[in-house]
Amino acid sequence: MRIRFTAEQQAFREEVRSFVSQNLSDGAEFSDELRGEMGWSPAFSRKLAERGWIALAWPREYGGAGLGFMEQVIFNEEMSYAQAPIGAHRRGVFYVGPILILYGTEEQRRVHLRAITEGMGYYCQGFSEPGAGSDLASLTTRAVRDGDDYLVSGQKIWTADAHRSDYCWLAARTDPAAPKHKGISNFILDMHAPGVTVRPLVNMAGGHSFNEVFFDNVRVPAVNLVGEENRGWYQTAATLDFERSSIAVFAGTKRFLDDFAVVLRGRPRRQRDVFAVADLYTGVLVGQLLSYFIASVQEGGGVPNREASAAKLLSSELRQRASATALEALGPAGAVQAGPGALAGGLYVREYLAGVSATIAGGTSEIQRGVIATRGLGLPRG
């Protein structure tokens, strides 16, 4: 397979780069904490919306830019390299929107796709529960039909950004008597509805991004059921495929390595650290090629599955190896988290601590290896 960008695609990359440098140039509007793929900045989301750049690969009729998946990858690369804060609209664009386009009603598309493309409807993802993570189909949060509504009760956990989202993209059990994969449905649940309680969970890097969420007889209008009742598992699985391919942002690791290489050049260094960095750059290049391959699968109308798992596995492990390599090469200086002695404001140790969760979020590395083994290599299920 030969990958070459067209002149138009190169020009598009330059356009995105220039937009980012103009809109993120002085950093005054976005603190460090807000930067990056998970960075949450409604102001930046709206700037992208004004430019028509929230949902590049969605069809125009749904408010998208009608561009190709390759343009979407180019865009993601530039955003990720610039550490632009796209977290507020990311789930809407990459996970929820594609499912609504495939399975939503006209009314759901009209209301919810428009909010997403205007940079306003923000989603968290309510899948995992205390007893259902890797084995997501064991989830027990219930949605019981009650007239024109469903009543939702149960608990979700590790729900990233639940404390600042408008909606929850929910997987709940609608038929407890059916085999576990066959009694699940998807809903759009209003996070401001009575009966929703969000409790923060602070991670080991001291950050608050995820939460526990409790639902106590929350009324969800039946018009917010997405797709057929009890057929939600297949949509949930497709959401995870979209999620895995979109979180594989290799350009972010390239940026980390580029910045780290500058620091390394100015210090006494060991040859093994230089080799380790070179090895990481090779991994980033492989990952970028994999991203282009995934875009070509999507361009052909497919949902990337084993490819998405491979990209997620590679990007999360690269991210961890990059920060571990940096900490090892920098010695104690790299481990200072705050104060005058902290290198790059404590970036290296922060990235090391935050990166631990990368091989868990979105499905653990073991689960990705299982998908690659069974669906990619055709090995029997264990």
Q: Which of residues 42, 221, 370, 376 is near ligand FAD by CB under 6 A?
A: 370
Partners of 170 in beta bridges = 126, 187
Determine if 158 is a binding residue for ligand FAD (CB under 6 A). Answer: yes
Whether 226 and 169 have beta carbons less than 8 Å apart is answered as no
Q: Cα separation of 354 and 24, whole Å?
A: 23
Stretch that binds ligand FAD, among 61-69, 156-164, 252-260, 296-304 (CB under 6 A): 156-164
* Shortest Cβ 312–ligand FAD spacing (Å): 11
Of 127, 150, 187, 242, the one binding ligand FAD (CB under 6 A) is 127
Q: Which stretch binds ligand FAD (CB under 6 A): 95-103, 127-135, 265-273, 292-300?
A: 127-135
Neighbours of 264 (CB within 10 A): 19
- Annotated catalytic residue 14: no
Q: Which is nearer to ligand FAD, 96 or 277 (CB)?
A: 96
Using an 8 Å Cβ cutoff, are 277 and 264 in contact?
A: yes
**Among the listed residues 166, 211, 174, the one whose alpha carbon sits nearest the alpha carbon of residue 193:** 166
SS3 (DSSP) at 220: strand
Is position 159 an interface residue for ligand FAD (rule: CB under 6 A)? yes
Active-site pick, 77, 129, 243, 307: 243
Q: How far is the CB of 136 from ligand FAD (least distance, A)?
A: 7
The length of the chain, given as a count of residues: 382
Quick one: 222 or 360, whose CB is closer to ligand FAD?
A: 360
Sorted by sequence, the CB contacts under 8 Å of residue 122 that are 6+ apart come out as 42, 88, 89, 91, 92, 161, 164, 165, 166, 167
Q: Which is nearer to ligand FAD, 82 or 353 (CB)?
A: 353
* Count of residues near ligand FAD by CB under 6 A: 19
Q: Which of residues 327-366 bind ligand FAD (CB under 6 A)?
A: 357, 360-361, 363-364, 366
Residues 305-324 that bind ligand FAD (CB under 6 A): none
What 8-state DSSP symbol labels residue 95?
A: I
66 or 370: whose CB is closer to ligand FAD? 370
Tokens in use for 43?
A: 């102001």
Where in 198-237 is the site for ligand FAD (CB under 6 A)?
210
φ, ψ for residue 336, nearest 5 deg: -80, 125
Among 45, 76, 125, 315, binds ligand FAD (CB under 6 A): 125
For residues 66 and 316, what is the distance between their CA atoms, to the nearest angstrom? 30
Which residue in 245, 342, 345, 334 sits closest to 297, CA to CA? Answer: 245
CB-CB contact of 233 with 186 (8 Å) = no
- CB of 125 or CB of 174, closer to ligand FAD: 125
Based on the shown chain and the rule CB under 6 A, indicate whether residue 374 belongs to the binding site for ligand FAD. Answer: no
Active site residues: 243
| Chain contacts with ligand FAD (rule: CB under 6 A) | 124-128, 133-134, 158-160, 210, 357, 360-361, 363-364, 366-367, 370
